[in-house]
Chains A and B, each alone.
Chain A
């Protein structure tokens, strides 16, 4: 297993392919790890000629799980430091799933010259009060409230997750929530992330690299697509019919095809 020291933590990295272009995959929060990309996008993109870098966010997978250091800016700084540690000096194509897209925009806002393009997979840039409130809502059950409230909250989150999947499997969702709960309880994510400053709207509007947004037609993110269009008028938006939040796992072939075309035959070039 390869680990790199970045921003004071050891991050677990898996690479496939070499050379250029470089695609960096950023996974989501809680139950997610680099495996979501390793077993989907990584092989086909590397076979097509890309160097694909996947990594576990701090607090996730096989990366360090410090108790603190989970502000939004920490997760952005981690990726910038990782690119430094790996001596990646050409602009990279960032692909972010769910929360991973927030980090992608954070990096592009902080260091525009490092980013060739951004692909959001069921994701939005992190800005505005609603973003913090949304993250806080997901984590509420882990932070406070009496036991009954916590159980009620978890049951409602569970129902929402189930409704987002095209292959609803209660046992699988229970398992995902168990993993997520472990991550949240063992780290400061739930107490730090929602209360940390996201990007400003001006910063997001200032991102000039090409942006592709891929959504599921019945996901909880797709109502935000017009907001993405507003702050990034040139963004290309693709909606995969009939699917919810989990398009990376449930519509892998469609997502791979879109990202492959985006990286290798860009219409924006």
Chain B
């Protein structure tokens, strides 16, 4: 694994932990399947857009103010937001924090 791939794996695990916390707090329980890069927030996890707002706060807390999910999402249309995957978010975080 290259150092970039290792960093990607780490961010994926960190974001997966944040998602588990949100699911837990929302009373949705644990996910049946492991959260991977291909996991779709809406369809696979039943996360609502308001849950993504909470995730946005966690991401900013963990990775700093350059990670702004609101700005990332503003470039997407409604359909693209609904089909957003965990991998897309990991890549965005990596782009912002290097």
A interface, CB within 8 angstroms of B? 1, 14, 16, 33-36, 38-40, 42-44, 47, 56, 61-62, 167, 172, 179, 246, 249-250, 252, 256
Interface of B is mostly: helix
Residues 52-80 of chain B, each 1 if its beta carbon lies under 8 Å from chain A, else 0 = 11101100000000001111011001110
**Beta-carbon nearest neighbor of A54 in chain B:** B53
Nearest Cβ in chain B — how far from A47, in angstroms? 7
Give the distance in Å from the alpha carbon of A14 to the alpha carbon of B51 in the complex. Answer: 13
Query: Would you call B79 and A33 a contact (CB within 8 A)?
Result: no
Residue from B50, B56, B69, B78 in contact with A249 in the complex, judged by beta carbons closer than 8 Å: B78
Residue from A1, A61, A249, A252 in contact with B57 in the complex, judged by beta carbons closer than 8 Å: A1
Tell me which residues across on chain A come within 8 A of B70, comparing CB atoms.
16, 38-39, 42-43
Contact count band on B = 10 to 19
B interface, CB within 8 angstroms of A? 48-50, 52-54, 56-57, 68-71, 73-74, 77-79, 81-82
Residue from B48, B50, B71, B79 in contact with A43 in the complex, judged by beta carbons closer than 8 Å: B71
Q: Contacts A1-B57, A167-B79 given: A35-B52 contact, CB under 8 Å?
A: yes
Nearest Cβ in chain B — how far from A166, in angstroms? 10
Query: Would you call B81 and A39 a contact (CB within 8 A)?
Result: yes
Nearest Cβ in chain A — how far from B73, in angstroms? 4
Query: Would you call B49 and A33 a contact (CB within 8 A)?
Result: yes
Query: Would you call B78 and A252 a contact (CB within 8 A)?
Result: yes
Tell me which residues across on chain B come within 8 A of A47, comparing CB atoms.
71
Nearest Cβ in chain B — how far from A95, in angstroms? 15
Query: Would you call B50 and A39 a contact (CB within 8 A)?
Result: no
Query: Would you call A39 and B74 a contact (CB within 8 A)?
Result: yes
Tell me which residues across on chain B come within 8 A of A39, comparing CB atoms.
49, 52-53, 69-70, 73-74, 81
Tell me which residues across on chain A come within 8 A of B49, comparing CB atoms.
33, 35-36, 38-39
Query: Would you call B50 and A61 a contact (CB within 8 A)?
Result: yes
Query: Would you call B78 and A34 a contact (CB within 8 A)?
Result: no
Query: Would you call A34 and B50 a contact (CB within 8 A)?
Result: yes
Q: List 27 A-B contacts (CB under 8 A).
A: A1-B54, A16-B70, A33-B49, A33-B50, A33-B53, A34-B50, A35-B49, A35-B52, A38-B49, A38-B70, A38-B73, A39-B69, A39-B70, A39-B73, A39-B81, A40-B73, A40-B74, A42-B74, A43-B68, A43-B70, A43-B74, A44-B74, A62-B54, A179-B48, A250-B77, A250-B78, A256-B74
Tell me which residues across on chain B come within 8 A of A44, comparing CB atoms.
74
**Beta-carbon nearest neighbor of B54 in chain A:** A1
Tell me which residues across on chain A come within 8 A of B82, comparing CB atoms.
172
Nearest Cβ in chain A — how far from B79, in angstroms? 6
Query: Would you call A62 and B50 a contact (CB within 8 A)?
Result: yes
Nearest Cβ in chain A — how far from B49, in angstroms? 4
